[in-house]
A = this chain, B = another copy of it.
Amino acid sequence: MMIIEVLRLFHRIRRDPRISTHCALVSRAFGAEKMFYSGDKDSSLEKSVNEVVERWGGPFSIEYVKSPVELIKEKKKQGFTIVHLTMFGEEKDVKTDKILILIGSERVPIEYYKLADYNIAIKNQPHSEVSALALFINSYKINKDFVNVKQKIVPQKQGKKIVKL
């Protein structure tokens, strides 16, 4: 079974609220189990994500970490492969079954490039951590059955339909 966790580096409350929320939602939707984040502790980010999990199902959790480097070292000990997504990395597949994905910005210190087992580019072009994360996680085609689902979409040709469970 594939286990994917995400570490969002250097969250800044003023600049990133929606981007970090989107990172968490992408992580959940495509089959990751958890998103850690470092930088500013942000109760409103946590609240948004927890509300989505509450309504649309889990398992998924968000957790603040003070020291991202320590988390990375701990995850390595637990057998996780550390994959840093960066436009500066190599475009290639990573074959393993336990991954901690690091996502940051253009300004991630070189230390993280060295801590990572792989620095992977989802295209060597500037785009977004949200899209890089989605394409990378989606490449593993994880088929997650959400549990504790309170509401669900009924796909429509035109319009919106949600059923409460």
Contact = CB atoms under 8 A, between A and B. Distances in A.
A147 B146 CA distance: 44
Q: How many copies does the complex hold?
A: 2
B128 A25 contact: yes
Contacts of A121: 153, 155
Contacts of A113: 158-160
Contacts of A135: 131, 134-135, 138
Contacts of A116: 158
B30 A123 contact: yes
Q: Interface size for chain A: under 10, 10 to 19, 20 to 34, or 35 or more residues?
A: 35 or more
A57 to B, nearest CB: 9
A131 B88 contact: no
A91 interface: yes
Interface centre among A15, A26, A146 (most CB of B within 10 A): A26
A19 B86 CA distance: 18
A130 interface: yes
A22 B88 contact: no
A29 to B, nearest CB: 4
A125 interface: yes
Interface string A23-40: 001101110000000000
21 contacts: A15-B18, A16-B18, A22-B127, A22-B130, A26-B128, A29-B123, A29-B131, A30-B123, A30-B127, A52-B126, A87-B153, A89-B156, A90-B157, A116-B158, A121-B155, A125-B146, A125-B153, A127-B134, A130-B130, A131-B133, A134-B135
**Pairs A-B, 3 closest by C-beta atoms:** A131-B134, A22-B128, A124-B153
